[in-house]
Amino acid sequence: MIRSLTSAVSGLQAFQQEIDVIGNDIANVNTVAYKSATTDLADSFSQTLANSDLGGDSAIQVGLGVVTAGVFNQFTQGAINPTGVQTDMAVSGNGFFVVQDATNGVQYVTRAGDFHLDTNNYLVTPGGLQVMGNVVTGYDSSGKPTTTFGPIQIAATAANTPSTVASGATMTSYAIDQSGNVDITMSDGSSFVGGQILLQNFSNPDGLIKQGNNLYSGIANAGPLGGSATPMPAAAQTNGLGTIQSGSLELSNVDLSSEFANLISTQRAFQANARIITTSDEMLQELVNMKH
């Protein structure tokens, strides 16, 4: 009798958690690049009333309920929606943008590419985190650019402008190709690559931790490309990474029809467990009222 109460209470707790996950998914149906989640349940430990004997009879065990085994993000591709805004970017395929907090150097990854340029022409997230990639720091004697990993600045600077550009020329336009190259066009008609946005891939993206604002931490625990000690972002369209679509955003991958179907089944399961508690209570009441 008490076992049924314990099992039912664990069911209420587990299905409440599952409803919480479903509710969060539905709330984020229009969030840029949001990844839906699923709840995995597992049976709790069982009480063994009798062990199996040498004759091969099965042990007699009574389960003691259910537990939440895990909540896992579904990193499936969301639909890509053209926006016409040049700084909006979507990843088609594998990979995450790497962004950094300029105040403390802490890095995060994100699939949300709703970027814009700040007052210094750095490419940043809505929260002001800088988008990272290869930054041109100069040119060698053969004219080949030298680069370092850092924040992407979409501007013609003294460091990234080649000597072939006419003196006094200014940037007139820019474009970002599918490999993440920032192509800068100057007023003298010349053009050059001023930097390249890089992507980070993971062998176990479920190891990432949601931090809000479409950001993920836990980069080292997710099996990053290049190893956990020295994660190595790479160019789009290399190392199994997808392409970067400028002027577009990835939409949420929440499937409303599936979410509502799961909501109904989870609600019924919650109600069934509540009924078990009611029935167990009635049976206990009968025992209390028994007369000798």
**pLDDT confidence of residue 56:** 57
DSSP SS3 for 184: strand
Which amino acid is present at 171? M
Same structural domain, 57 and 190: no
Number of domains in the chain: 2
Q: Both 37 and 173 in a single domain? A: no
Whether residue 167 is found in the same domain as residue 198: yes
- In this prediction, residues 234-243 reach a mean pLDDT of 95
Residue 136: enclosing H or E segment and its boundaries? Answer: strand 130-139
What are the two backbone dihedrals, phi and then psi, of residue 157, each rounded to the nearest 5 degrees?
Answer: -110, 170
Do 140 and 107 lie in one domain? The reply is yes
Q: Residue 221: give the domain boundaries.
A: 80-250
Band (pLDDT 50/70/90 cuts) for residue 225 is: confident
Q: Which one-letter DSSP state was computed for residue 170?
A: -
Inter-helix orientation angle 2-27/256-289, to 10°? 160
128 shares its domain with 229? yes
Q: How many CB atoms lie within 10 A of CB 172?
A: 13
Same domain flag for 162 and 60: no
Q: What is the pLDDT of residue 65?
A: 85
Same domain as 44, residue 62:
yes
- What's the pLDDT at 50? 63
Q: What pLDDT is recorded for position 5?
A: 85
H/E stretch holding 20 reads: helix 2-27
pLDDT, position 91: 98
- Residue 292: which pLDDT band, with cuts at 50, 70 and 90? low
Q: What pLDDT, in 10s, does the model give residues 20-39?
A: 999 999 999 999 999 999 99
pLDDT above 70: percentage of residues in the chain: 93
Q: Is the domain of 258 the same as that of 279?
A: yes
Asked whether residue 57 falls in the same domain as residue 196, the answer is no
pLDDT at 193 (0 to 100)? 96
Q: Are residues 24 and 84 in the same domain?
A: no
The tokens for 219 are 């980069």
Sequence-distant (≥ 6) Cβ neighbours of residue 202 within 8 angstroms: 96, 208, 219, 222, 223, 224, 225
Sign of CA dihedral 246, 247, 252, 255: negative
| 101-136 residue pLDDT tens | 999 999 999 999 999 999 999 999 999 999 999 999
User: pLDDT tens-digit profile of 271-286?
Assistant: 999 998 898 888 888 8
In one letter, which amino acid is 173?
S
Predicted confidence at residue 288, as pLDDT, reads: 80
DSSP characters for 64-122? Answer: --EEEEEEEE--PPPPEEE---TTBEEEESS-EEEEE-TTT--EEEES--B-EE-TT-B
176 exposure class (CB count in 10 Å sphere: 0-12, 13-18, 19+): buried
Q: Is the pLDDT of residue 54 over 60?
A: no
Ramachandran angles phi, psi of 200, nearest 5°: -120, 130
Largest separation between any pair of C-alpha atoms in the chain: 107
Do both 180 and 212 map to the same domain? yes
Q: Please report the pLDDT score of residue 256 as a whole number.
A: 96
Is the per-residue pLDDT at 261 higher than 90? Answer: yes
Given a contact cutoff of 8 angstroms between Cβ atoms, the answer to whether 192 and 90 are in contact is no
Q: What are phi and psi of 109, to 5 degrees?
A: -125, 155
- Given a cut of 90, is residue 80 above it in pLDDT? yes
- In a shared domain, residues 106 and 210: yes
286 class by beta-carbon count within 10 Å (0-12 exposed, 13-18 middle, 19+ buried): exposed
Mean pLDDT of the chain: 92
